[in-house]
Every structure is written in C-alpha cells, then in structure tokens.
Amino acid sequence: MILLTSLNRSASLHRAARALAAAMTLVALGLVAASLSSCGRDAAASEAARATVPIHQANDPIEGQEVAVLTDAPNVPPPITRRHATKVIVNLDVIEKVVQIADSVTYSAWTFGGSVPGKFIRVREGDLVELHLHNAAANSMPHNIDLHAVTGPGGGAGSSLTLAGHESVFSFRALNPGLFIYHCATSPVPMHMANGMYGMILVEPRDGLPKVDREYYVMQSEFYTTGKHGDHGLQQLDMDKGIDEKPTYVVFDGAVGALTGDKALQAKVGDRVRLFVGDAGPNLTSSFHVIGEIFDNVYSEGGSDVTQHNVQTTLIPAGGSAIVEFGVEQPGDLVLVDHSIFRAFNQGALGMIHVTGPDNAKIFAAIKGLGVGAKSAE
C-alpha cells in the first residue's frame, strides 16, 4: 500500500512537471512570436519611414526641345504652360564688366549674362536641361557654375570649368521642384561670388504654381569694396572686409536704388503678387519684410509647398531663397527691406512696390496726426 501510494505521488509529480514544462514552452513560444511580430512591425515602420525619402528617377518622357527664355532682375520668364517634360537649352554667357552699384559708384563685376544678379532661369520638374556656359574671350578668369537645382557632382561645377574664349556643356534632369540659387564655384569661390556671380533657377512643379497677376525676381546680396560707403569712382573687392563679414553695401538686385523711384516694382489694388526672393550672400542671412503688407503664403527656403501663412518677416539663408505671395488691398508704396534695419536704411537693402488704385477706408484710414494726407513708410 505504501509502495502504491508512493508510485501514485511520483506519477502526479511527473505529470505536474510535464504540464509546467509545456506551459513554459507555450510562454516561450508566445514571447518569441511577440518578439518576431514586434520586429516585423518595427521593420515595416522603418521601411515606411525610409520610403518618405524618395530615390528620384528620370522617368518623364522627353518631348521636343526649346531654348529657355532668360530675364534680368526684376523680371521673370512667363509661367510654363506645357504639361510634359522637354529638353531645355540654356545659353549663359559669363561677362566681366563694370557695373553701377550706387550713385557715382561703379564696380568691376563678374556676371552671368551681363547683369548682377544673373539671369533668371525657369524650367519644369522633369525637364532635361542642357546648359551651355560660354566664357567671353575678353575675360581674365576661368569660371564655372554650381546650380543648387542639380543632382550631380558639384551642382555642375566640375563639368563646367571654362577658360576665357571657350564653352562648356553639361545636362541634368530637374528632379526637385523649387526655387534655387546658382553661382560660380571656381576657386577662390568667395571672390567669384562677391564679384557678382549668382542668379536663380526656378523648377516649377509638374502642375505649375497657382496663377497670380504679377511675379518679380528680387535678389539680396553684398558688396565689399575697397572704398567706404558712398566713395565715388571705380571700386574693387576688399577680401579682408569679406572675410570679416563687414559689407560696404547690402542691396537688392545688384545696386542701391535698383527697385526705387522710376525702377520701383508695380502693382494695382486687387493684384496677387508673387516675389521670388534669393539671398546670394555671400555672408549674411536676410530678414525679408515688406512694410505695409503681410505674406499670405510663404514657401520657406524656396521649397515647393506653402509652409506658412500670415507671415510678417521671413528668414532667407545665404545661398537660399523663399517664395512669398500676397494680395494687394491698398494703394501706396510698399517698402521691401532686410529688417536687420541698418542694412536697409544705411547700406542699401531697400526697394519699393508702387501700388495704384482706389483707397479702401474699411481697410486703412488716416484719421488724425502729422501723417494725415501723407504716405507713411511704417
């Protein structure tokens, strides 16, 4: 009897041990399955996140070809209306010449297309751009071009180094829509840029930009001259001022007063205005502001999407850009400034948009004070 009881107890313990082992096995399997499931979910999430960084493909079929319309600031080529990609030939001449940068002040500039800033280029997302860079025979230096819109080595700089009297040609696909700076990248790069070698290229999205009434090209930049601010005569680059980041002039569209007086930009009440604004530097960040208006839409840093609404002042880094849009509700002079305000009123970063049309007292009315009957800046 004692032996039978002992055997039964041993069998019970054995069954309990097997049950515990089975349970532990199930728990372990469950943990493994959960871990595998979690790993699977993590891997899927990681791949989904990775997929948000696209690898662009040049899949758009190219139909025909055209020669790009290039414009000097503040003008912009007309919007692109075609709905297919094409081959766009861009002919850009490098010209070393004397330009006026202020009243009775000239400067020995190096230019893309004969003006500072350089030509505005407009293409469409997916276009095949063939760029012909011609360095005039009378020039003293080799030059090249780095377009921030280019996916490729040096933005094209390595393929476009061009001696005086020669031409270089390279092509690229406009893969990313947006507003991009281009500039010379020949050594010493700061010298070439400080002497005026910069411009902008717009890559329109495939579906284009929303329709507006007026578009303008505004480029902020700096001059570092051997003479003091206002010294008359021909000026050259002062490299020490450039290294110290102490510009003699900070300007819009290449010169003090380039956008004032009879050269002011024009608009009418009821117009929708788009400004393509660049900051060529070569050193300073711009605090771009229009006195008397608020930016209804801002495409920050020149990207293809509206990122902010109802903005007073937008920052534009050196070598960067922004697109700003606003409707015009009141007549008068709107004042473009870099709101690092000494640059505007003492160094030249000031322009105007002259707006004509009827007053709307529901929006703005001068009631009493010294400024009644006069137009106020701010």
**What is the tens place of the pLDDT at every residue in 343-367?**
999 999 999 999 999 999 999 999 9
Query: What's the pLDDT tens digit per position in 318-340?
Result: 999 999 999 999 999 999 999 99
Kindly report the backbone phi and psi dihedral angles of residue 49, in degrees, each rounded to the nearest multiple of 5, phi listed first. Answer: -65, -40
The vertex-222 CA angle with 315 and 288, nearest 5°, equals 20
Query: What's the pLDDT tens digit per position in 5-60?
Result: 444 555 554 565 565 555 555 444 454 455 555 556 666 666 666 778 999 999 89
For the chain, the first-to-last Cα distance in angstroms comes to 110
Report the amino acid identity of residue 67: V
List, in sequence order, the alpha helices (H) in the chain.
2-51, 189-194, 239-243, 342-347
Q: Which residue has the tokens 């063939």?
A: 130
Query: What's the pLDDT tens digit per position in 61-92?
Result: 999 999 999 999 999 999 999 999 999 999 99
Query: What's the pLDDT tens digit per position in 100-110?
Result: 999 999 999 99
Mean pLDDT of the chain: 91
Cα torsion 308, 310, 314, 319 to 10°: value is 40
* pLDDT number for residue 290: 98
Cα torsion 26, 28, 34, 36 to 10°: value is -120
Coil vs helix vs strand at 2: helix
For 170-194, what is the mean pLDDT? 98
In this prediction the pTM is 0.87
Q: Which residue has the tokens 């469409």?
A: 124
